[in-house]
Amino acid sequence: MKKLWGGRFSEIADESLDNFWNSIGFDHRLARYDIRGSMAHAAMLAKQGIIPESDNDKIQAGLREILTDVEAGKIEFSLTDEDIHMNVERILHERIGPEAAGKLHTARSRNDQVATDMHLFVRDEACRGTIELLHGLQQALQEKAVEYADVIMPGYTHLQRAQPVLLGHHLLVYLWMLQRDIGRLEDCYKRANVCPLGAGAIAGTTFPIDRQATADALNFATIYPNSMDAVSDRDFVIETLFCNALIAGHLSRFCEEIILWMSNEFGFVALSDKYCTGSSMMPQKKNADLAELVRGKTGRVYGSLIAMLTVLKGVPLTYNKDFQEDKEGLFDSVDTVQRSLFHLTGMVRTIRVNAAVTRKAASAGFLNATDVADYLAKRGVPFREAHEVTGKLVAYCLKHGKELDQLTLEVLQQFHRNFDHTVYADIDLDIVVNRRNSAGGTSSTQVQAQLQQATAALAETSAWLTTRPLLGT
């Protein structure tokens, strides 16, 4: 079949090469954006007197019909037509005739066309869509943080028990991680919200187009000031891939903790059967497979970022076929992150915490040792001396199978004369937690204040989403 661009060609690629370099197998996903961009472009051409209004009417009607059929799954795209742009244009030719359809591509190139499609996809699906899912997971984490706000558990460093914390405090860590992810995507949204349409192949066009009109029609904030930059920029793709990589890393850390906490060795939490699997051989097994799979998928999200960084590192200005590689990795990255967020949100809502087990774990292992040292420091003992004394007390406890709060005052005073009976109140588990009342600390008062901050942050995200509707809604 003759290509729409094939006027100067006497030979065409064989079918095996078509299979290698044609992109319709994956860029069909951009169909709605490609059609919306074409509708905006045709309307602008008519407004500027570049094509007759009657042709624009036919083009608009034809494109709306194609869009309806695409969304209904009625369109079968053709490999022969290479990409989504040629497929849509070919279908439009068939439906409204070549005379009107042939005018649609006036004053544009596939270079600025695909860049526009990618900007719309990143802006609406990759940024806004992922923010919405991040927001949902944050809400689930907040609900659990409220439910288990006062449950005491061990906090860890080096995966060794360190100090007691409230479980609500621990869960809110991930809410704030996701809040930073939202902030990065909101920032990425700004750079995706720039319109390349009208840049042409590289140098603009001789037609008297109105680039701002097409930008406005597609809800873009502004246009690229440089036509060469417009068609060659893929920074917004890399930014999205980086944001996704960081989200995947955060989800992986969370999943790692859930996997540990669910194990018999910890026993801190239980998950719904819906998010676990069993063993084909060992009937007793209940595996946290969703958490494991999300943890595993982090590698492919990282890989998409590295691949795109490598594609762009040596590409000269402006458009090159290399840019076709920006799509599959981006689509996969977005899908992987969004599906992970969706399913983890459901999993979080099913988590049940064994508060007795977490408290018992926090009561053992000398998690109040810092408070013993602080007790002495507040009584005039240099902290380094207090630290050494407490270390010797811990060694004594290990030798005699005791915890610090089980030592008699007589034993304590053998290690330092500044101990008196008030030490036992200072190292009580509940008091140890609630005396950490510095801003951002783990006391009940501070966790409640943090929950209020979280509520405000979630409200800000809700407002952001409300003011940025999807194209065509």
Q: Which residues are known catalytic residues? A: 158, 279
In terms of Cα–Cα distance, which of 222, 210, 12, 40 is closest to 123?
222
Q: Which helix (H) or strand (E) holds 270?
A: strand 269-270
Question: Are 333 and 304 contacting, i.e. CB atoms less than 8 angstroms apart?
Answer: yes
Report strand pairing: 194-195 vs 222-223: parallel
Instruction: Report d(CA 112, CA 117) in Å as an integer.
Output: 9
Question: Are 276 and 286 contacting, i.e. CB atoms less than 8 angstroms apart?
Answer: yes
**Structure-block tokens of residue 164:** 């007691």
CA dihedral 65, 70, 74, 76 (to 10 degrees): 110
CA atoms within 13 A on the CB side of 115: 33
The separation between CA 136 and the C-alpha centre of its own chain, rounded to angstroms, equals 12
Residue ranges of E strands in 108-185 = 152-157, 160-166
Instruction: Report d(CA 5, CA 433) in Å as an integer.
Output: 71
Instruction: Report d(CA 345, CA 350) in Å as an integer.
Output: 9
Q: What is the DSSP letter of 78?
A: -
Can you name the residues that pair with 194 across neighbouring β-strands? Answer: 222
Instruction: Report d(CA 181, CA 262) in Å as an integer.
Output: 26
Q: Give the end-to-end CA distance of the chain in Å, rounded to a whole number.
A: 37
Calculate Rg over the CA atoms of the chain: 30
Question: Are 386 and 373 contacting, i.e. CB atoms less than 8 angstroms apart?
Answer: yes
Which residues touch 219 (CB under 8 Å, ≥6 apart)?
A: 193, 469, 471
Question: Are 69 and 78 contacting, i.e. CB atoms less than 8 angstroms apart?
Answer: no
Question: Are 446 and 437 contacting, i.e. CB atoms less than 8 angstroms apart?
Answer: yes
